[in-house]
């Protein structure tokens, strides 16, 4: 039985939320905190969360937050150390680019922002000409390297992928083959870590991104609308990815693709929005052979 992400007990208040300032590409933004296996969070952990919650969102305070964790962690349980990772992630998620830097007009603007913010634990993402800050999972992983559990460390490897920018302006910013690689990484976690408390989060990543591959996005359609033959057909790059997945006998995602391709062919690649049937969590579990 998988355990969904759990929240802090109602007796503890954490002044964080996964901010709405991030672009459309953000996927899972769950917060994992002390579970109900703990009767109450320890005094040290409560002091840490209260301290971080009191900080203003200025880059000068980030080192101070990490320093407070280092000073207090000796009195944390392992679960509280894992929770502290998410506390810091969510604190970073609330940051925004300075108002006079948000609008991007050139690659030089991007380079300047990358250089300015990367040292504080951020990666840049861009959408419709504007810049956004996202927590750098590699940065956080290094900060907590010797403190988080093996279970969380495995999940952090997934977050390094799922938290990287995937779309912008209603289209993919990566190749279709890279999207397929992401999906297969999620599949491997799902099938190999069925008891992980983060299992449902990864399943959500898998379903969302598989649907991108099945149906495309507004500005990254799977159908080639302008083929020389004058008829609709599968985009050449999408077709290559589908073929490789279907031939891949080490993973089960290919069966989803094969069934979907059969349906597309039955429609001569011409279908309406209303006919699109999105892959569900339950269907994904069935195809992957997990419950």
* pLDDT computed for residue 63 by the predictor: 97
* pLDDT computed for residue 267 by the predictor: 94
* pLDDT computed for residue 101 by the predictor: 85
DSSP string, 47-62: HHHHHHHHS-S-GGGH
* pLDDT computed for residue 266 by the predictor: 96
- Chunked in runs of 10, what are the mean pLDDT values of the chain (291 residues)? 39 36 48 48 96 96 98 98 98 92 84 92 88 94 96 97 92 97 98 97 98 96 78 93 98 98 95 94 98 81
* pLDDT computed for residue 26 by the predictor: 46
Of 21, 170, 8, 32, nearest in space to 89 by CA: 32
* pLDDT computed for residue 229 by the predictor: 64
* pLDDT computed for residue 15 by the predictor: 35
Read off φ and ψ for residue 194, nearest 5 degrees.
Answer: -65, -20
- Residue 126 host element (H or E): strand 122-127
* pLDDT computed for residue 40 by the predictor: 64
* pLDDT computed for residue 193 by the predictor: 97
* pLDDT computed for residue 227 by the predictor: 65
* pLDDT computed for residue 230 by the predictor: 67
Per DSSP, 279 falls in state: P
* pTM summary value: 0.84
Provide the token pair at 19. 């901010």
* pLDDT computed for residue 7 by the predictor: 35
Output the CA torsion 70→72→78→81 (10° steps).
-50
Domain ranges of the chain: 1-146, 166-291
Of 194, 159, 187, 201, nearest in space to 245 by CA: 187
CA distances (Å), origin 209, targets 15, 29, 182, 186: 30, 15, 8, 10
* pLDDT computed for residue 67 by the predictor: 98
């Amino acid at each position: 039985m998988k355990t969904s992400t759990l929240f802090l007990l109602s007796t503890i208040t954490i002044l964080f939320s996964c901010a709405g300032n991030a672009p459309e590409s953000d996927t899972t933004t769950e917060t994992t905190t002390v579970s109900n296996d703990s009767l109450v969070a320890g005094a040290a952990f409560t002091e840490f969360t209260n301290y971080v919650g009191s900080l203003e969102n200025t880059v000068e305070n980030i080192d101070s937050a990490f320093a407070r964790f280092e000073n207090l962690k000796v009195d944390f349980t392992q679960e509280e150390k894992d929770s502290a990772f998410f506390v810091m992630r969510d604190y970073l998620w609330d940051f925004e680019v300075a108002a006079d830097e948000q609008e991007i007009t050139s690659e030089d603007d991007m380079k300047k922002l990358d250089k300015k913010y990367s040292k504080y634990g951020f990666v840049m993402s861009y959408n419709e000409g504007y810049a956004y800050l996202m927590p750098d999972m590699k940065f956080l992983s290094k900060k907590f390297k010797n403190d988080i559990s093996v279970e969380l460390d495995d999940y952090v490897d997934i977050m390094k992928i799922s938290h990287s920018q995937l779309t912008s302006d209603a289209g993919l910013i990566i190749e279709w083959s890279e999207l397929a690689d992401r999906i297969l990484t999620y599949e491997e976690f799902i099938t190999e870590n069925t008891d992980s408390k983060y299992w449902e989060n990864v399943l959500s990543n898998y379903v969302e991104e598989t649907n991108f591959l099945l149906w495309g996005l507004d500005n990254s359609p799977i159908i080639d609308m302008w083929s020389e033959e004058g008829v609709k057909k599968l985009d050449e790059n999408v077709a290559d990815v589908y073929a490789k997945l279907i031939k891949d006998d080490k993973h089960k995602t290919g069966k989803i693709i094969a069934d979907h391709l059969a349906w597309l062919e039955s429609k001569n690649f011409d279908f309406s929005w209303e006919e699109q049937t999105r892959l569900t969590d339950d269907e994904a579990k069935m195809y992957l052979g997990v419950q």
